[in-house]
Amino acid sequence: MRILFLKLLMAMSLSATLLGPAQAQMMPGTTSMVSGDAEEEVLPQDLSPDAINAMVARMSDDEVRDFLLQRLDALALEEATAAAPTSPMVRAQALWTAFSTPIIEAIQKLPTLFVKQGEAIGNFAATYGGAGGVLTLFGIIGLLLAAGFGVEFAVRTWLIKVRNPEVSETNSSLKEAVSFLVRRFLREIFGLVIFYATIRTLGRAILSPDQAAFVAPFIGYLIWMPRVAAAFSRFVMAPQRSDLRLVNVSDHWAKFIHRHLVGIVLLGAATIFIIDFNTQNGVSIGETRIGFWLDSLVYVYIAYIAWFARDGLSDMMRGTDPDNTNFDEAVARAYPYFGIAVAVGMWVIVRILAGLGNFTQVVGGAHYTTMFLLLFTPAVDTAIRGLVRHLVPPMQGEGDVAHQAYVATKRSYVRIGRVIALGIILALIARAWNFSLIGLMQDRAGIADNLFSFAMTVIVGYVAYEGVSLWINRRLAAEFTALGLTQEDAGDEMGGGGGSRLSTVLPLMLLTARGTIIVIFGLLAVGNLGIDITPLLAGAGIAGLAIGFGAQKLVTDVVSGVFFLIDDAFRVGEYVEIDSTMGAVEKISIRSMQLRHHRGPVHTIPYGEIPKLTNYSRDWVIMKLKFTVPFDTDPNKVKKIFKKIGQEMLVEELYKDDFLQPFKSQGVFDFDDVGMIIRGKFMAKPGKQFMIRKEIYNRVKSEFTAAGIDFARREVRVAIPGLEHSEDLSDADKAAIAGAASAAAQEQMTEEGAAAPKGPD
C-alpha cells in the first residue's frame, strides 16, 4: 500500500514537472528523466496522464523513492534560495549600481543629446506642418497670452480701484499688513484664475486637440506655475514693501530670494515640460538623458541660492522674537546648509530611482514637491513662532516668575505647532509619492502599520504632555504672581509670606503627571511596535515590591510628605523652623524639602525626619518693640507719640496695605536698673513686619528728639565714703577710684549678657 502511495505521489510530481514551467526549458520534442547519474528514458514532450502512469508503473520502488527524494531536495533548495535574506553588502552594491548607472549613461549619451533633441524638435515641426505651422502655433500662443493678460489686467485694475485700496506706508500695524498682503495675494490668485480661464476658453475654441496637447503644458509649466510661485513669494517676502514684510530679512536679500525662487520654479517646470515634450515627439527619456542634466541643474541652482543668500536666510529663520532659544539660533545658522543638504540628498535619491527604473514619481514631480516641502519646513517653523508670539495670551502678573511662565507657555505652543506641522508635511510628502495613509490604517498589517501606530501614539502622548505642562505652568504663574512677594520685600530676616497652597502642590502635580504620561504612552508606543509589554509590566511590579521592602525609609519619607501637604503645614516661600533649623521653604520634592537660611545655606530635610515644624509665615504676625526711657518720663506722653506714629503710617501708601493692626503703645512693661521699659506692638502681613519695624524705629527716634525725651543710658555709680574731702585726694587715689568704677561696670555688663535669652541669629 505504501509503494502504491509513493508511485501516485511521484506521478503527480512528474506531471507537475513535465507539464509545468520546466517544460518550456526542455529541448523541443523530447525530454529526459534522470535517476541517479544515468539517463533512464527519453520521453516525448507532451505526455498524457495515462502515459505518465504507465511510465511510473514500469519503475521499481527504489527508482520511485530516489526520484521523490531528489524532487523534495530540489524544492527545499529553491525555497531556501528564495527566502535567503540579502546581505547589507549586496544591497549597498545594488544601490551603488542604481546610483551610478544613470550618471554613466548620461555621460555616454551626451554626444547624441543635441542630435536627439533636434530630432524631437523636427518631429514636432513635422507634426504641425513644418516651420510655417510652428510659427502659426506660436502666434496663436501669443494671442492667447495677450488675451489672458489683458482680461487679467482689467479685472485686477478694477479690484485695486474699487475693492482693495493700498495700505499706508507708515504706521501700519501687523493686522493691517497681514490683511493687505492677504487681499493682495487673493487678488493675484484671482487674476491668475481669470488668466487661466480666459486662455482655456479661447484655446478650446481655436485650437485643435493636437495643438492643445502642446499649448496646455507650455503655458501651464512655463507661464502659469512661475507666476503662482511669484504670488506666494510676494506674499511672504514683500520685496518692494519692507514695512509689510512678514519675515525678518533686509531689502537686498528679500529681492534676491524672491527673484531666484521664481527662477528655480521656472527651471523645474521647464525640466518637466521638456521631458514631456520629448516623449510626445518620439524621443524617450532614456535616449538623451536630458532630464538628468536639467534636473541636476535645478539642484545646483538651489545650492547656489542657499550658499550666496545664507546671511539673509539665517536672518529670516532667526526672526524677531526676543525669547529665542539656543536651539532657534542654531537652526537659523544651519538652515542654509540644510537647504544644500536637501538638494544633494534629493539628487542622490532621484538618481537611485532612475537607476532602478522607477520613473513614475520622478516624471510626476514628486521629488520637487518633497524638496519644496523640506525646504519650506524651517519657514513654517518661523511662521509658527511668529503666530505664537502675537496670538499667545499676554503675560499674567509681573516679575521673573511671570516672565518665565510666559516664555514657557510660548515654547509649549511652538512645540505643539511644530508637531502638527511636521505631521502635515509628512502626509503631503507621502501623498506626493502615492503613499496612502488611509489605506495603511485600513490594512492594519505589516511593519509600516506598526511604525505608523507608534508615531501616532508618540504624537498624542507628546500633545498630552505639553497640554498638561501648559495648564499647570499657567496656574502656577498666576498663583505666584498674585501674591507679589519677593525675597527683597521680606527683608534680610526672611520670614516672609509664602505662596498659596495650590502653588505648593502644583509642581508635584506637574512632575507626577509628566511621569505618568511618559510611562503610559511609552508602554503603548512600544506595544504598537509589536513588542510584548507584559514582561515589562511584570518587571515593574517586581521592582516596586523590591523598592517597597528594601527602602522602607524612602516610603516613610514619601508618606510623611503626603500628610504634611494634606495638613497644609508649609508652603513654598514660608519661613519655618524644624528642630532648630530655620529657613524659607525654597523647594519641595516627593521625598524631602529644602530650606534656605537667610544667610545663604540650604538645608535638605527628609519628611520622615521632621518631628515638629514651626511656621513663622502663616496668616499674620505680631511684632512687639521695647523702648527704655528714664524714670522721670511721662508714659502718657510716650503713648500719644506711639499712637500718632501708628495713625500716620496707616495712611501712607507704602505701608497702609501691610498693616493688619496699627502700631500702638502697651504701656509700661517693666523696670530695670536703667529706666522704664515701654512696649509697643503692631500686627502685619507675614514678611512685611521687618520693613515696618525699621520705619517705626526711625520715627520713634525722631519724635523722642522733638519731644525732648532721651533714651535711658546705662550708668555706673560708685559710692565712696569720705568723698566730701575729694579735694584732698591725690592723683593716685583718683586714678584708683576710676579704675574700680570701670571694672564694676564691665562686670555688670558681662553678667547681663550671660543672663540675656538666646535667639536665632
Q: Which three cell numbers stand for residue 322?
A: 526676543
In the structure grid, which three cell numbers stand for residue 89, read together?
A: 553588502
Encode pLDDT of 600-625 as tens digits.
788 888 877 788 887 777 777 788 88
pLDDT of 450 reads: 67
pLDDT at 174: 67
Closest to 489 measured CA to CA, from 575, 612, 418, 413:
575
Q: Which is nearest to 511 in space by CA: 588, 413, 443?
A: 588
Where residue 145 falls among pLDDT bands split at 50, 70, 90? very high
Query: What is the rounded average pLDDT of the residues 81-107?
Result: 76
**What pLDDT, in 10s, does the model give residues 108-119?**
888 888 888 888
48 pLDDT exceeds 70?
A: no
pLDDT tens, position by position, 459-468: 788 878 877 8
Q: What is the pLDDT of residue 512?
A: 78
Angle at 187 between CA 186 and CA 190, to 5 degrees: 85
Give me the percent of the chain exceeding a pLDDT of 70: 69
Task: Give me the CATH code for the 552-618 domain, please.
Answer: 2.30.30.60
- Give the residue-averaged pLDDT of 581-586: 80
What pLDDT score does 27 carry?
A: 37
What is the predicted pLDDT for the residue at 219? Answer: 92
- 610: alpha, beta or left, given left = phi > 0 and alpha = psi -120 to 50? beta
pLDDT for 487 equals 39
- The percent of residues in the chain predicted with pLDDT above 90, rounded, is 5
The pLDDT, as a whole number, for residue 659 is: 78
Q: Cα–Cα distances in Å, from 524 out to 446, 512, 518, 540?
A: 18, 18, 10, 15
- Per the listing, cell 520670614 goes with 495
User: For 621-707, CATH number?
Assistant: 3.30.70.100
402 and 481 in contact (C-beta within 8 Å)?
yes
Higher pLDDT, 739 or 308: 308
**Cα 131 from chain centre:** 60
Q: What is the pLDDT at residue 505?
A: 67
Residue 239 DSSP class: T
Which of the four pLDDT bands, split at 50, 70 and 90, describes residue 62? low
Name the amino acid, one letter, at 249. V
pLDDT at 218: 92
CA distance 492 to 495: 9
pLDDT at 114: 86
Task: Report residue 146's pLDDT band, with 50, 70 and 90 as the boundaries.
Answer: very high
Q: Where are the domains of the chain?
A: 2-81, 111-288, 292-391, 401-531, 552-618, 621-707, 723-755
594: left (phi over 0), alpha (psi -120 to 50) or beta: beta
483 has pLDDT over 70: no
Average pLDDT of the residues in 688-715: 81
Report yes or no: 666 and 683 within 8 Å, Cβ to Cβ. no
Report the C-alpha gap between 656 and 650 in whole angstroms. 5
| Residue 221 grid coordinates | 509649466
pLDDT at 583: 80
Most confident of 368-377, 438-447, 491-500: 368-377
* Whether pLDDT at 388 is above 60: yes
The owner of cell 537667610 is 598
For strands 676-684 and 621-629, give the pairing. Answer: antiparallel
Highest mean pLDDT: which range of 52-56, 418-422, 494-498, 717-721 = 418-422
pLDDT range class, residue 552, cuts 50, 70, 90: low
Which region among 181-185, 227-231, 502-506 has the lowest average model confidence (pLDDT)?
Answer: 502-506
Q: Please give the mean pLDDT across all residues of the chain.
A: 74
* Whole-angstrom distance, CA of residue 638 vs CA of residue 653: 25
pLDDT tens digits along 625-665: 888 888 888 888 888 888 888 888 887 877 777 777 888 88
What is the pTM assigned to this prediction?
0.57
Pairing of strands 581-588, 592-596: antiparallel
Q: Of 389-403, 592-606, 627-641, which range is least confident?
A: 389-403
749, pLDDT greater than 80: no
34 or 420: which leads in pLDDT: 420
Q: How confident is the model at residue 227 (pLDDT cuts 50, 70, 90)?
A: very high
Asked which of 142-146, 483-487, 606-610 is least confident by mean pLDDT, the reply is 483-487
d(CA 230, CA 232): 5
pLDDT number for residue 64: 62
Q: How confident is the model at residue 416 (pLDDT cuts 50, 70, 90)?
A: confident
Section 231-250 average pLDDT: 83
484 vs 347, higher pLDDT:
347
User: Sign of torsion, CA 292 293 298 301?
Assistant: positive
Q: Which cell goes with 346? A: 534629493
Flag the least confident range among 32-41, 118-127, 192-201: 32-41
- Average of per-residue pLDDT across 563-583: 75
Chain centre distance of CA 410: 11
Render pLDDT for 63-74 as a digit per residue (tens, 0 to 9). Answer: 666 766 677 666
552-618 and 621-707: identical CATH topology: no
- Grid cell for residue 518: 511618559
Amino acid at 103: I
Q: Measured over all CA atoms, what is the biggest interatomic distance in the chain, rounded to whole angstroms?
A: 167
Q: Given a cut of 70, is residue 95 above it in pLDDT? A: yes
> pLDDT tens across 288-338, in order?
888 888 888 988 998 999 899 888 888 888 877 777 778 778 888 888 898
- 358 vs 344 pLDDT, higher one: 344
> Exposed (0-12), middle (13-18) or buried (19+): which is 274, by Cβ within 10 Å?
middle
Q: Of 476, 479, 481, which Cα lies nearest the Cα of 400?
A: 481
Rounded Cα distance, 616 and 577, in Å = 8
The answer to whether residue 45 scores a pLDDT higher than 60 is no
- Of 634, 619, 689, 686, which Cα lies nearest the Cα of 665? 634
Q: Quote the pLDDT of residue 417.
A: 82
